[in-house]
Amino acid sequence: KTPLRRKYGFLWEHAHWLWYLHKDAPLRPELDAAIQNLGLFSSEHSNHKRTVGVHVRHGDSCHDVYQNHRKCYPLAHHMRLVKKLEDEYGPYDQVFLATDDPKVIEQAKELFRQYKFIFQHIDRNIYEKGDENGVDVRPEFNDPQLVRDIATDIWAMAHCDALVVSFASSVAWVAYELLIARKGHYAPFASIDLAWGHEKNVGRFLEKPNLG
Protein backbone atom coordinates (compact mmCIF):
# COMPACT_ATOMS: atom_id res chain seq x y z
CA LYS A 1 0.00 0.00 0.00
CA THR A 2 1.17 3.51 -0.75
CA PRO A 3 1.23 6.17 2.02
CA LEU A 4 -1.65 7.98 0.27
CA ARG A 5 -3.77 4.83 0.27
CA ARG A 6 -2.96 4.06 3.89
CA LYS A 7 -4.02 7.54 4.94
CA TYR A 8 -7.05 8.19 2.71
CA GLY A 9 -8.11 4.84 1.22
CA PHE A 10 -8.13 3.42 -2.28
CA LEU A 11 -10.93 5.65 -3.62
CA TRP A 12 -9.08 8.87 -2.84
CA GLU A 13 -5.78 7.55 -4.18
CA HIS A 14 -7.26 6.14 -7.38
CA ALA A 15 -9.23 9.34 -7.98
CA HIS A 16 -6.07 11.42 -7.89
CA TRP A 17 -4.20 9.09 -10.20
CA LEU A 18 -7.07 9.43 -12.69
CA TRP A 19 -7.06 13.21 -12.32
CA TYR A 20 -3.30 13.29 -12.92
CA LEU A 21 -3.84 11.46 -16.23
CA HIS A 22 -6.71 13.71 -17.31
CA LYS A 23 -5.86 17.21 -16.13
CA ASP A 24 -3.29 17.95 -18.85
CA ALA A 25 -4.51 15.49 -21.50
CA PRO A 26 -4.41 16.73 -25.12
CA LEU A 27 -8.18 16.28 -25.41
CA ARG A 28 -8.96 18.44 -22.37
CA PRO A 29 -9.40 21.82 -24.16
CA GLU A 30 -11.93 20.21 -26.49
CA LEU A 31 -13.80 18.61 -23.58
CA ASP A 32 -13.77 21.87 -21.59
CA ALA A 33 -15.29 23.72 -24.55
CA ALA A 34 -17.89 20.99 -25.08
CA ILE A 35 -19.21 21.06 -21.53
CA GLN A 36 -19.24 24.85 -21.39
CA ASN A 37 -21.39 24.82 -24.52
CA LEU A 38 -23.75 22.55 -22.57
CA GLY A 39 -23.90 25.08 -19.72
CA LEU A 40 -21.54 23.41 -17.26
CA PHE A 41 -19.00 25.57 -15.46
CA SER A 42 -16.81 24.87 -12.44
CA SER A 43 -18.01 26.19 -9.08
CA GLU A 44 -15.60 29.15 -9.07
CA HIS A 45 -16.95 30.43 -12.44
CA SER A 46 -19.51 33.25 -12.44
CA ASN A 47 -21.79 31.23 -14.73
CA HIS A 48 -21.84 28.20 -12.45
CA LYS A 49 -25.22 26.56 -11.84
CA ARG A 50 -25.77 23.83 -9.27
CA THR A 51 -26.01 20.68 -11.34
CA VAL A 52 -26.77 17.06 -10.56
CA GLY A 53 -25.49 14.54 -13.08
CA VAL A 54 -27.68 11.55 -13.88
CA HIS A 55 -26.29 8.55 -15.76
CA VAL A 56 -28.90 6.18 -17.22
CA ARG A 57 -27.20 3.24 -18.86
CA HIS A 58 -29.41 0.96 -20.92
CA GLY A 59 -28.14 -0.60 -24.14
CA ASP A 60 -26.15 -3.74 -23.40
CA SER A 61 -26.94 -3.46 -19.69
CA CYS A 62 -30.45 -4.68 -20.46
CA HIS A 63 -29.32 -8.02 -21.90
CA ASP A 64 -25.73 -8.70 -20.84
CA VAL A 65 -25.73 -12.38 -19.90
CA TYR A 66 -22.09 -12.34 -18.83
CA GLN A 67 -22.38 -9.46 -16.35
CA ASN A 68 -25.84 -10.06 -14.96
CA HIS A 69 -25.28 -7.72 -12.01
CA ARG A 70 -26.02 -4.93 -14.51
CA LYS A 71 -29.70 -4.04 -14.57
CA CYS A 72 -31.81 -1.77 -16.73
CA TYR A 73 -33.37 0.83 -14.43
CA PRO A 74 -35.93 3.37 -15.69
CA LEU A 75 -35.33 7.10 -15.54
CA ALA A 76 -38.02 7.44 -12.87
CA HIS A 77 -35.86 5.39 -10.50
CA HIS A 78 -32.99 7.83 -10.93
CA MET A 79 -35.20 10.88 -10.51
CA ARG A 80 -36.48 9.62 -7.16
CA LEU A 81 -32.88 9.62 -6.00
CA VAL A 82 -32.41 13.14 -7.37
CA LYS A 83 -35.33 14.20 -5.18
CA LYS A 84 -33.68 12.57 -2.14
CA LEU A 85 -30.46 14.47 -2.81
CA GLU A 86 -32.42 17.71 -3.12
CA ASP A 87 -34.19 17.02 0.16
CA GLU A 88 -30.79 16.64 1.80
CA TYR A 89 -28.66 19.25 0.00
CA GLY A 90 -31.12 21.72 -1.54
CA PRO A 91 -32.48 22.14 -5.08
CA TYR A 92 -30.36 21.91 -8.18
CA ASP A 93 -30.58 24.41 -11.02
CA GLN A 94 -30.26 21.79 -13.74
CA VAL A 95 -29.79 18.09 -14.47
CA PHE A 96 -27.05 16.85 -16.79
CA LEU A 97 -28.40 13.66 -18.37
CA ALA A 98 -25.91 11.13 -19.73
CA THR A 99 -27.55 8.16 -21.41
CA ASP A 100 -27.17 5.75 -24.31
CA ASP A 101 -30.96 5.51 -24.76
CA PRO A 102 -32.77 8.10 -26.94
CA LYS A 103 -36.08 7.18 -25.29
CA VAL A 104 -34.73 8.40 -21.93
CA ILE A 105 -34.22 11.88 -23.39
CA GLU A 106 -37.85 11.96 -24.52
CA GLN A 107 -39.07 10.69 -21.14
CA ALA A 108 -37.11 13.41 -19.36
CA LYS A 109 -38.78 16.10 -21.46
CA GLU A 110 -42.29 14.65 -21.09
CA LEU A 111 -42.41 13.31 -17.54
CA PHE A 112 -40.11 15.60 -15.53
CA ARG A 113 -40.86 19.07 -16.84
CA GLN A 114 -40.13 20.62 -13.45
CA TYR A 115 -36.42 20.02 -14.12
CA LYS A 116 -34.17 21.72 -16.62
CA PHE A 117 -32.29 18.97 -18.44
CA ILE A 118 -29.10 19.48 -20.41
CA PHE A 119 -27.54 16.73 -22.50
CA GLN A 120 -25.43 16.06 -25.55
CA HIS A 121 -27.23 16.28 -28.89
CA ILE A 122 -25.81 13.10 -30.38
CA ASP A 123 -27.12 10.04 -32.19
CA ARG A 124 -27.85 7.44 -29.52
CA ASN A 125 -29.51 4.92 -31.82
CA ILE A 126 -26.25 3.06 -32.36
CA TYR A 127 -26.34 1.93 -28.73
CA GLU A 128 -29.70 0.21 -29.20
CA LYS A 129 -28.12 -2.30 -31.54
CA GLY A 130 -26.16 -5.25 -30.31
CA ASP A 131 -26.57 -8.50 -28.46
CA GLU A 132 -25.78 -10.19 -25.18
CA ASN A 133 -22.03 -9.84 -25.80
CA GLY A 134 -22.11 -6.19 -24.75
CA VAL A 135 -20.26 -3.15 -26.05
CA ASP A 136 -16.75 -4.32 -25.19
CA VAL A 137 -16.43 -6.49 -28.29
CA ARG A 138 -18.05 -4.11 -30.80
CA PRO A 139 -15.33 -2.58 -33.01
CA GLU A 140 -17.51 0.35 -34.12
CA PHE A 141 -17.14 1.84 -30.65
CA ASN A 142 -13.50 2.54 -31.45
CA ASP A 143 -14.71 5.33 -33.75
CA PRO A 144 -13.01 8.57 -32.55
CA GLN A 145 -16.28 10.53 -32.48
CA LEU A 146 -18.02 7.92 -30.32
CA VAL A 147 -15.03 7.93 -27.98
CA ARG A 148 -15.33 11.74 -27.72
CA ASP A 149 -19.06 11.47 -27.01
CA ILE A 150 -18.43 9.11 -24.09
CA ALA A 151 -15.48 11.18 -22.86
CA THR A 152 -17.66 14.31 -22.93
CA ASP A 153 -20.35 12.62 -20.82
CA ILE A 154 -17.72 11.57 -18.28
CA TRP A 155 -16.10 15.02 -18.21
CA ALA A 156 -19.49 16.69 -17.86
CA MET A 157 -20.45 14.47 -14.91
CA ALA A 158 -17.08 15.25 -13.34
CA HIS A 159 -18.10 18.93 -13.35
CA CYS A 160 -21.45 18.40 -11.63
CA ASP A 161 -22.09 19.04 -7.94
CA ALA A 162 -23.66 15.63 -7.25
CA LEU A 163 -24.30 12.39 -9.14
CA VAL A 164 -27.03 9.77 -9.45
CA VAL A 165 -25.43 6.81 -11.21
CA SER A 166 -25.05 3.06 -11.50
CA PHE A 167 -21.72 2.00 -10.05
CA ALA A 168 -22.08 -1.21 -12.05
CA SER A 169 -20.88 0.98 -14.92
CA SER A 170 -17.24 2.03 -15.18
CA VAL A 171 -18.38 5.32 -16.75
CA ALA A 172 -20.02 6.18 -13.43
CA TRP A 173 -17.16 5.41 -11.09
CA VAL A 174 -14.60 7.10 -13.33
CA ALA A 175 -16.82 10.21 -13.41
CA TYR A 176 -17.23 10.23 -9.63
CA GLU A 177 -13.51 9.80 -9.04
CA LEU A 178 -12.69 12.69 -11.38
CA LEU A 179 -15.37 14.78 -9.68
CA ILE A 180 -13.97 14.39 -6.17
CA ALA A 181 -10.36 14.80 -7.28
CA ARG A 182 -11.26 17.99 -9.15
CA LYS A 183 -13.19 19.41 -6.18
CA GLY A 184 -10.68 18.25 -3.58
CA HIS A 185 -13.38 16.71 -1.39
CA TYR A 186 -16.14 14.10 -1.50
CA ALA A 187 -19.39 15.10 -3.20
CA PRO A 188 -22.97 13.87 -2.73
CA PHE A 189 -23.96 10.85 -4.80
CA ALA A 190 -26.52 8.07 -4.97
CA SER A 191 -26.02 4.73 -6.71
CA ILE A 192 -29.05 2.87 -7.97
CA ASP A 193 -27.39 -0.50 -7.54
CA LEU A 194 -23.88 -1.32 -6.30
CA ALA A 195 -21.59 0.35 -3.81
CA TRP A 196 -18.50 2.00 -5.29
CA GLY A 197 -16.25 -0.70 -3.84
CA HIS A 198 -18.48 -3.70 -4.66
CA GLU A 199 -16.56 -6.82 -5.67
CA LYS A 200 -18.30 -6.79 -9.07
CA ASN A 201 -16.60 -3.54 -10.04
CA VAL A 202 -13.84 -1.56 -8.30
CA GLY A 203 -13.79 -3.98 -5.39
CA ARG A 204 -12.06 -6.61 -7.49
CA PHE A 205 -8.93 -4.44 -7.35
CA LEU A 206 -8.97 -4.17 -3.56
CA GLU A 207 -7.47 -6.41 -0.94
CA LYS A 208 -10.62 -5.88 1.09
CA PRO A 209 -13.81 -5.03 -0.88
CA ASN A 210 -15.37 -1.68 0.06
CA LEU A 211 -12.07 -0.37 1.47
CA GLY A 212 -11.94 3.37 1.18
Least confident of 3-7, 34-38, 79-83, 114-118: 3-7
Q: Which amino acid is at 35?
A: I
User: 3-state secondary structure string, 83-145?
Assistant: HHHHHHHCCCCEEEEEECCHHHHHHHHHHCCCCCEECCCCCCHHHHCCCCCCHHHCHHHHCHH
The pLDDT tens digits for 160-209 are 999 999 988 889 999 999 999 999 999 999 999 877 766 666 666 666 54
Instruction: Answer whether 164's CB lies under 8 Å from 139's CB.
Output: no
Distance CA 32, CA 9 (A): 29
Quote the mean pLDDT of the chain: 85
Least confident of 18-27, 39-48, 110-119: 39-48
* pLDDT > 90 in the chain, percent: 57
The pLDDT tens digits for 50-76 are 999 999 987 665 655 555 556 788 999
